[in-house]
Amino acid sequence: MNFIVLFGTFATIFYILLLIIKRRKTLPDLFLGLIFLFYGLNIGLTWVELYNAEHGYPCPRFLNISWLFLLLHGPAMWFYIKSYTMRPYRFRWIWLLHLVPFTAFTFAQYLEYFSLSQADRIRIFSEESFKENTLYKISVLAIAVSTITYNLWGLKLIKEHRFQLRNHFSHVADMDLRWLEVLIIANLVIYGINVSLFNLDLIFGFASYHLLMELAYTFATIYTLVLGYYGIRQGNVFVSKDITLVIPGKKAQERIRSRSPGEEDETSINRLLTDMESKNPFLDPEITVAKLAELQRVTPATLSRVLNEHLDQNFFDFINRYRVEEFKNQALSEDASRLSIMGIAYECGFNSKAAFYRAFKKHEKCSPSEYLSRLNKK
């Protein structure tokens, strides 16, 4: 497994180099680079510790350091997600409080371990007597709390981000960070297993520290490889989209839904529904709330408010409902036989199979093929 840990170290270096030579760098690329840096230090120093143990401790000053960088994984991922989901992005100095746990434990580790002589450090590490120290037990718990908290926080940010997108775009597949959501859930499961093993070891002492480290960082290597593959491909979800996204709170949503439309809003609603039937703007695969608002001669904020307050829909669902209805109409036409299911879907404004099937199943409670099969039986 040492080879896998060493491979993980070089993989993070490779990804950092890819980000450095990348032509069109974005703010998320910077935070992605920091994630790779912290993972690289974490995994690389773990490999050094394992090498020390197997070769008579030639580099004792690098013992018991790697675990500290686990406290930076969560904050780095939080900043990464925030750089994608906050529009416009504005750094706040209070966010530096995310670094307090890392700083505090580094100072405590210096007093407890780093200030000792090299001989004492080797003895404590080789005998694994540090497991009996209060600092070690607290650090294991702190890492568990930090990891779980930041992963859940990240999922919350992505969920809110997806809510924002659906109020502005009719296609969100390339922007909704679904891959990152899946990766975070997988990370939660993996960390849950690792943390459980470390905590159970504190109680039952069933495994060596080295074995637990090898297992944990093998998972970390795989996680880093997947994150790098998708993260570097993602780019900026808002390239050439100068928009400000705002999420109304739950109370605000309930309040606006209870309002009755005034005369001005009724006019806007009637004009909107008439234009949707006569001008078919939903057939444009790249239609956005800004484009539709321009057609309606209102601001994007006004259109979004009308959809949410009085039609109880976000822009994404509103547009795709019309596309689904258009698909159903075209499926009944004589020309439908010359096109495949996706051929008709593309004609109706969808630009991907996944988006089409997801929207159709949401609105019709069945797949497109099931719907067509029912039509043929009638």
Q: Please give the residue that has the higher pLDDT: either 196 or 17.
A: 17
pLDDT tens column, 181-205: 999 998 888 888 877 887 777 777 7
How many whole angstroms separate alpha carbon 89 and alpha carbon 351?
A: 29
Q: Report the percentage of the chain scoring pLDDT > 70.
A: 90
pTM for the full predicted model = 0.79
What is the SS3 assignment for 187? helix
CB 19 within 8 A of CB 234: no
Pick the CATH number of 2-234 from 1.10.287, 1.20.1070, 3.30.460, 1.20.950: 1.20.1070
Domain boundaries of the chain, sorted by first residue: 2-234, 248-312, 314-378
Q: What is the model's pLDDT at position 150?
A: 95
Average pLDDT over residues 45-61: 89
pLDDT tens column, 97-128: 999 999 999 999 999 999 999 999 999 988 88
Q: How many CA atoms lie within 13 A of 301 on its CB side?
A: 6
Q: Please give the residue that has the higher pLDDT: either 81 or 339.
A: 81
Residue with tokens 């039952």: 204
**Torsion on CA atoms 274, 279, 285, 286, rounded to nearest 10:** -80
Structure letter (DSSP) for residue 288: B
CATH of domain 314-378: 1.10.10.60
Q: Do domains 2-234 and 314-378 have the same CATH topology?
A: no
pLDDT tens column, 214-229: 788 888 888 888 898 8
pLDDT greater than 60 at residue 238? no
pLDDT greater than 70 at residue 250? no
pLDDT greater than 80 at residue 139? yes
Average pLDDT over residues 5-19: 91
